[in-house]
A and B are shown apart, each in its own frame.
Chain A
Amino acid sequence: MFQNTWWKTVMPSMPMDSNWWKTAMPAMPMDLFSKTMGTMSPMMNPFAMWPTAGTQETLMKNLMSSMNGFTQMGQSMMSMVQSLGDVSKTGEWSAMVDKIIEQFRGLMANAQDNPFAFPFFNPMGPMNQSLETFNQILAGNPIFSQLNASKDPSALLQTMLGFPGVGIGREKQEVIQRAISYGMDFQKSYTEYSSLKNGMKIKALEKLQAKLMDLGKGEKKIETLRDAFVLWIDCLEEAHSELVTSDKYLETNARMVKDMMNFRKTFQILMDDMLEAMNIPNRREVDAAYKKIQVLKRQVREMDEELQELRTLRIDLDALKAHAEKTLGPVPASEKKPGHKKSAAAKVEQENKGA
């Protein structure tokens, strides 16, 4: 995802501004992705302010968002069509699109060289802040002052985080180091993931350019704003489909999810320890209880079914006994086996006799 300011800085009056992205994706699935995976939750970000809860997307909000984007796209298209002027000079419009794509591609290439250029590629909000805070904490430290001078600051930082813990708090220290290390891994892999997505958008632009060129040669033209919008969506979907089935995406996605889960799991350990220190039940304890409950539930059901079987057998047995006694006569008391369990009715009868 790129920032609106980029477009405004580089291409102030270009028709293909960021509103096209908003038109296409008003619900911003990546934010939902971040929220779903817990990266926006307070647990993931101890350094930043606890984020507010995400607002529920309402139907009208989606509709308004789509309409706003569509309207702005329409207005942009109108100004672009007007600026094209004389149709004999239509070669310029494709050159204009070429220029946009080249500029965007250049911006992406430059940003990739700087591993700390996270804001351009990392729309994770609080995660950005946490890393920035971490950088500030480290800035005054003589060991880490060499970080920025290092050729590979990430590798150096990872090395520092790999130092063993010492002292009574060594295990906690190592968990914290692991959490930060996983956090950095996640930053890196998420950056790569976002980069792939951004590359996809460039491809979509190229596809759009190609389709527009084809349309220009043919008889069929784009007659309505909706047709233009649907064409743009088709290009995005095509480029997206090619991306998400590629080996590079699958590998990057799997790695990013793994890094995210490692980070989340390690942070959960820290959270659990903190809650335990405050004598508050934590996730670890509740999960242990749930596990025991599930085992007990299965045992109870198993026993219940066996009991039901026994009850059925008991009924069958009583019926068989009654039939046998009717046919052959009652069994003499002397022939009854010791330890024979009397039925409730027999017990009552015996008590009455005794009384």
Chain B
Amino acid sequence: MTQSMTPFNIKPEAAAKELNQYYKNLAAGMKTLSELGPISEGISAKEPAYEEDKVVLYHYTPRVEKPHGIPVLVIYALVNRPYVADMQEDRSLIRGLLDQGLDVYIIDWGYPDPSDRYQELDDHINGYIRRCVDFLCAKYDLPKINILGICQGGTFSICFTSLYPEKVKNLVTVVTPVDFHGGKNVLGSWGKDLDVDLIVDAMGNVSGDLLNFTFLSMNPYRLTGQKYLDMIPMLEDPVGLMNFLRMEKWIFDSPDQPGETFRQFVKDFFQDNKLIKGEVRIGGKRVDMKNITMPVLNVFATKDHLVPPPASQALGKYANSKDYSEFPFKGGHIGIFTSGRSMAEVPPAIATWIKARG
């Protein structure tokens, strides 16, 4: 055995002081926690513009006197809640877009319950999304609107745009998977061999808790251990603590997934990667990305562990747009919504791009 010095240089007094400081922070934190108040779900003012079943189309209150003439419809994923894009004053993609003068709407999918287990992708894309788009077209007396899809919502946006290109003026995708086998993707490899039919037949809706567990399992020790220890020093800072708790609330605020939607999405997209093969059928209609001929802006995160860049960049290869642009953001899948740097870069990039195209 090679002799080596001990790697520890911990003095007992310093260690005791360190532990003591943690406990002091914890004790002080009790007071801060008790005075914190409710944790908000999004900070930008909004009102329901259209409702159908549990789906609500919200209109964010414009922050300029004359917003851009063509509204932007944000389509978020079914997994997690959309307020991650509107988390706090200085970390809000939505606020950033509103400040840039865009007129922003968002589809809130709500919380599916067992009665929604037989909802399919058809109901979401040919149903709810199409009717929200038709509503906006009628409201603004426009033939087309702008669409901004986030993550799985971006995949839905791609499907919708492929099926109804005549209704979409400009398409923006943010951290959106297109090639589900592109790049190293832990989630994809986990889902590859799962018997999804059996899971859905046995469970019905797939519970949000199960999805939470799956996401935690990607980094279980950091996310269930280290994270809370790291939180202790910030307990005395109400602002920092509130920001932490907002994220904490969002992370575990996972709606159940309607069974049939989950079945089709995992089988067709994750397992069989049918989107890039042009084999996805939604409500009997084939999704052909070659129908995407309008301008496309593809925003992706270079250190995205959930949607690796190749998975996202595949859109450039399969869409038929002559005006295809990419915006790589140096950060992760969540950081693109919550980091201070992303707020300085992403909303202006999106807004400038949209305004330049009418």
Chain A residues within 8 Å of B216, by CB: 29
Residue on B nearest A231 in the bound complex, by CB: B7
Q: Could you mark each residue 224-250 of chain A with 1 if its beta carbon is under 8 Å from any beta carbon of chain B, else 0?
A: 111011100100110010001100001
Query: Which of A24, A95, A258, A283 contacts B225, CB < 8 Å?
Result: A24
Which 3 A/B pairs are nearest by Cβ-Cβ distance? Answer: A216-B4, A215-B7, A221-B9
Q: Which of B103-111, B184-192, B345-353 contacts A (4 or more CB under 8 A)?
A: B184-192
Q: Could you mark each residue 192-214 of chain B with 1 if its beta carbon is under 8 Å from any beta carbon of chain A, else 0?
A: 11110011011110010110010
Chain B residues within 8 Å of A301, by CB: 127
Taking the complex as formed, is A81 at the interface, i.e. its CB lies under 8 A from any CB of chain B?
A: yes
Pull 9 A–B residue pairs with CB atoms less than 8 Å apart, ordered by A. Answer: A26-B224, A62-B224, A67-B232, A87-B6, A94-B4, A225-B18, A261-B199, A290-B117, A291-B118
For the complex, give the distance between the alpha carbons of A27 and B222 in Å: 11
Question: Of residues 35 to 65 in A, which have CB atoms within 8 Å of B's CB atoms?
Answer: 35-38, 59-60, 62-65
A241 CB to closest chain B CB (Å) equals: 8
Question: Of residues 1 to 41 in B, which have CB atoms within 8 Å of A's CB atoms?
Answer: 1-10, 12, 14-15, 18-19, 22-23, 26, 29-30, 33
A181 CB to closest chain B CB (Å) equals: 16
Interface contact A24-B221, CB-CB below 8 Å: yes
Residue on B nearest A64 in the bound complex, by CB: B26
B contact patch SS: helix
Interface contact B18-A226, CB-CB below 8 Å: yes
Given A77-B10, A93-B6, A290-B115; A224-B220 close (CB under 8 Å)? no
Taking the complex as formed, is B123 at the interface, i.e. its CB lies under 8 A from any CB of chain A?
A: yes
Interface contact B10-A224, CB-CB below 8 Å: yes
Interface contact B198-A62, CB-CB below 8 Å: no
Question: Of residues 53 to 86 in B, which have CB atoms within 8 Å of A's CB atoms?
Answer: 53
Chain B residues within 8 Å of A35, by CB: 209
Residue on A nearest B134 in the bound complex, by CB: A305
Chain A residues within 8 Å of B118, by CB: 290-291, 294-295
Given A36-B213, A63-B26; A94-B1 close (CB under 8 Å)? yes
Chain B residues within 8 Å of A233, by CB: 221-222, 225-226
Taking the complex as formed, is B339 at the interface, i.e. its CB lies under 8 A from any CB of chain A?
A: no
Interface contact A70-B229, CB-CB below 8 Å: yes
B19 CB to closest chain A CB (Å) equals: 5
Query: Which A residues have a C-beta under 8 Å from some C-beta of B?
Result: 23-27, 29, 32-33, 35-38, 59-60, 62-67, 69-71, 74, 77-78, 81-82, 84, 87, 90-91, 93-95, 212-217, 221-226, 228-230, 233, 236-237, 240, 244-245, 250-251, 253-254, 257-258, 261-262, 264-265, 268, 283, 286-287, 290-291, 293-295, 297-298, 301
For the complex, give the distance between the alpha carbons of A66 and B12 in Å: 21
Interface contact A261-B186, CB-CB below 8 Å: no
Interface contact B3-A91, CB-CB below 8 Å: yes
Chain A residues within 8 Å of B320, by CB: none
Query: Which of A59, A84, A254, A295 contacts B33, CB < 8 Å?
Result: A59
For the complex, give the distance between the alpha carbons of A123 and B347 in Å: 48
Interface residues on B, range: 35 or more
A-B pairs with CB below 8 Å: how many?
187
Taking the complex as formed, is B119 at the interface, i.e. its CB lies under 8 A from any CB of chain A?
A: yes
Query: Which of A67, A90, A213, A245 contacts B26, CB < 8 Å?
Result: A67
Given A24-B221, A216-B6, A221-B7; A60-B189 close (CB under 8 Å)? no
Given contacts A25-B224, A240-B219, A298-B127, 14 further A-B contacts (CB under 8 A): A25-B220, A27-B225, A36-B213, A62-B228, A70-B19, A90-B5, A91-B1, A221-B7, A237-B222, A258-B194, A268-B202, A291-B118, A294-B119, A298-B123
Residue on B nearest A235 in the bound complex, by CB: B221
Given A25-B225, A63-B231; A70-B22 close (CB under 8 Å)? yes
Chain B residues within 8 Å of A223, by CB: 9-10, 14
For the complex, give the distance between the alpha carbons of A77 and B14 in Å: 13
Interface contact B229-A66, CB-CB below 8 Å: yes
Chain B residues within 8 Å of A59, by CB: 33, 245, 248
Query: Which of B9, B18, B202, B231 contacts A222, CB < 8 Å?
Result: B9
A247 CB to closest chain B CB (Å) equals: 9
For the complex, give the distance between the alpha carbons of A342 and B322 in Å: 54
Interface contact B222-A77, CB-CB below 8 Å: no
For the complex, give the distance between the alpha carbons of A71 and B229 in Å: 11
Chain A residues within 8 Å of B195, by CB: 254, 257-258, 261
A203 CB to closest chain B CB (Å) equals: 13
Taking the complex as formed, is B217 at the interface, i.e. its CB lies under 8 A from any CB of chain A?
A: yes
For the complex, give the distance between the alpha carbons of A77 and B10 in Å: 9
Interface contact B198-A67, CB-CB below 8 Å: no
Interface contact B209-A32, CB-CB below 8 Å: yes
Given A63-B26, A222-B10; A90-B3 close (CB under 8 Å)? yes
B263 CB to closest chain A CB (Å) equals: 13
B70 CB to closest chain A CB (Å) equals: 24
Residue on A nearest B226 in the bound complex, by CB: A233
Interface contact B10-A37, CB-CB below 8 Å: no
For the complex, give the distance between the alpha carbons of A226 and B25 in Å: 15
For the complex, give the distance between the alpha carbons of A35 and B213 in Å: 11
Taking the complex as formed, is B114 at the interface, i.e. its CB lies under 8 A from any CB of chain A?
A: yes
Interface contact A81-B8, CB-CB below 8 Å: yes
Chain B residues within 8 Å of A298, by CB: 123, 127
Interface contact A67-B23, CB-CB below 8 Å: yes
For the complex, give the distance between the alpha carbons of A270 and B17 in Å: 59
Interface contact B198-A265, CB-CB below 8 Å: yes
Residue on B nearest A93 in the bound complex, by CB: B6
A137 CB to closest chain B CB (Å) equals: 26
Query: Which of B7, B204, B217 contacts A216, CB < 8 Å?
Result: B7
